[in-house]
Amino acid sequence: MASILRIFQNEALIAAGLAWLSAELIKFIIRFFYVGERTWARLWSSGGMPSAHSATVCGLATAIGLRHGFDGYAFALAMVLAMVVMYDACGVRRAAGEQAKILNELGDMLMSKNLTPEEKLHEFIGHTPIQVIAGAIWGITVAALFVLLR
């Protein structure tokens, strides 16, 4: 049991978690002040500025690189994971969100009524390239501060 609890001492996981949590809070604050949205569910949903996915994986890779070196297998694995996640967030998932938007509009037109939120497909799935880059920069910054200030 004691060895399992050491996971909470893993610097890379903590840095990634801090990057994710802070990015989610920033997204919530941006939506609150600029859009006026006060929905707590958006705090945990996909999409938005900055990308919490990018922040998380870049935070993980940065912490591993700073602590264990940028030339090791652990950093290489984390970096490849980060690239795949960011590509997916910006490409595949964003395209799925655009398709959901079109399908929702088509559903509204064909049914001659507005679909309820429960009937609509989730449109905020992916990220724009700017959101992904902002998330990556945020994750790198959070992890670097966390690791270097410890």
How does pLDDT run across 15-41, given as a tens digit for each residue? 999 999 999 999 888 888 887 777 666
* Total domains in the fold of the chain: 1
Q: Under 8 Å CB-to-CB from 117, ≥6 apart: which residues?
A: none
Alpha carbon 134 to its chain's center: 10
User: 41 lies in a domain?
Assistant: yes
User: 9 lies in a domain?
Assistant: yes
pLDDT attached to residue 111: 65
Dihedral sign from CA coordinates of 99, 102, 107, 110: negative
How does pLDDT run across 45-78, given as a tens digit for each residue? 667 789 999 999 999 999 999 999 999 999 999 9
User: 81 lies in a domain?
Assistant: yes
pLDDT attached to residue 47: 72
Residue 141 is given by DSSP the state: H
pLDDT attached to residue 48: 77
User: 31 lies in a domain?
Assistant: yes
User: 114 lies in a domain?
Assistant: no
User: 27 lies in a domain?
Assistant: yes
User: 39 lies in a domain?
Assistant: yes
- Domain residues for 38? 2-91+126-148
